[in-house]
Amino acid sequence: MHTERHVRLFRNGRNQAVRIPREFEFDADEVVMRREENRIVIEPIHRQGLLATLATLSALEETMPDVDGDLLPLDEIDL
């Protein structure tokens, strides 16, 4: 389904701008804009939460060493 609407360009300081009509509004705070030949494509950036970002990471291949309690004399640390 293609929705189309005629809009006018205007100047905002030294920048050319366009108002985005309500039916084209994004549910995002930021967008990515790129030029594809004679078109400008605007796509929303959806930020992932920390858990979703961590879920995309692959597991570490290395094993972590065991920590010996004798190496950490917590009672001797002067804070």
Q: What is the pLDDT of residues 14-70, one digit of tens each?
A: 999 999 999 999 988 899 999 999 999 999 998 888 898 888 899 888 887 777 656
- For the cut 70, the answer to whether the pLDDT of residue 1 exceeds it is no
Give the whole-angstrom CA distance, residue 11 versus residue 19: 11
Model pLDDT, residue 71: 63
> For the whole model, what pTM was predicted?
0.52
Give the whole-angstrom CA distance, residue 55 versus residue 50: 9
Model pLDDT, residue 49: 86
